[in-house]
Amino acid sequence: MREPIDPDVIHAALVTSGQPWRSVEFHPSIGSTNSRAAELVRTPDPPPGAGSSQSARPYAAGLAPHGSPLWRIVLTDDQTGGRGRLGRSWQVPPRASVAVSAIVPAPADLGWAPLLAGVALGRAIGGVTTATGARLRPRLKWPNDVLLPEDDDRKVAGILCEFAEGPHGRAVVVGAGVNVDQTRAELPVPTATSLRVAGAVVAREDLVIAFLKELAAVLNSGSSARSAYRSLCATVGSQVDVHLPTGGLVSGRAVRVDDSGALVVEVAGSERAFSAGDVVHVRPGAEAAGMIGP
């Protein structure tokens, strides 16, 4: 039997001096952690638990401060209405994944938000799995996916960043979904994987703690985090298909990520920058993208 996540362990590790995180709101089951986090941004001075279901344990280890929603965390064991970019859905067995959303200050360059979150998540997965002896080395697919080379570059995690604005100003909701304990048979598509399938057995609490510590660090690290993203990005140098929101398709070679966070693709001898769209690695045969999202 899969054990429930312990929000008190996460609270004790993160809501401390030296870390910016202010509260952990845990729900045994919720539609979407990102939607709940956006609700907190829009609500003026929400009291603990405002808008939560009766089954929620908001701010499990103490009352969250009123005022700014920044640096709050929303966490669940069972996300029933998870979603990814472009309206994709994400549903996994309860207690088999990490589904967490964090409210952080809006960066000046919003295009970098999912990329920097990807750096944080990739580092967290690498660090936590190394501690178990598995030593996974994640790579990033622009703009928001985490891949495992140890399992043929299958997708283990995804990031969904959403801009939100409320009485206390602008914020970004950073949602992360990680396949942790699923078996191969429980994964939604052949191109998805899990930490368990890749040979890593980890505590979900450890992964959440590592991710949110890394997220706080990369958001304050300036250009070094951008350099880290470029070094981890598996998309650059690859032949890619760029699926545009309009339904168009552009094929070419990804050559770099520019200063705005856009992907620059060489198409028929000229360069085009894409700040939105769905980038798919070109591999032999037809391929569907694994769907993971908060």
User: Structural domain boundaries of the chain?
Assistant: 7-231, 237-281
**Domain topology for 237-281:** SH3 type barrels. (2.30.30)
pLDDT tens-digit series, residues 80-129: 976 655 556 666 899 999 999 999 999 888 899 999 999 999 999 999 99
pLDDT tens-digit series, residues 43-93: 987 555 444 333 444 444 334 445 689 999 999 999 997 665 555 666 689
Is 7-231 assigned to CATH 3.20.20.80?
Answer: no
Alpha helices in the chain (DSSP H): 7-14, 33-42, 113-132, 204-219, 223-232
**Cα separation, 214 vs 230, whole angstroms:** 17
Given this model, what pLDDT does residue 171 score? 97
Given this model, what pLDDT does residue 233 score? 96
**Cα separation, 218 vs 268, whole angstroms:** 36
pLDDT tens-digit series, residues 270-290: 999 998 666 765 443 233 333
If residue 88 lies in a helix (H) or strand (E), which one and from where to where? none
Q: Model's pTM, two decimal places?
A: 0.88
Lowest-pLDDT range of 2-16, 51-65, 114-128, 193-207: 51-65
Strand pairing class (263-267; 249-257): antiparallel
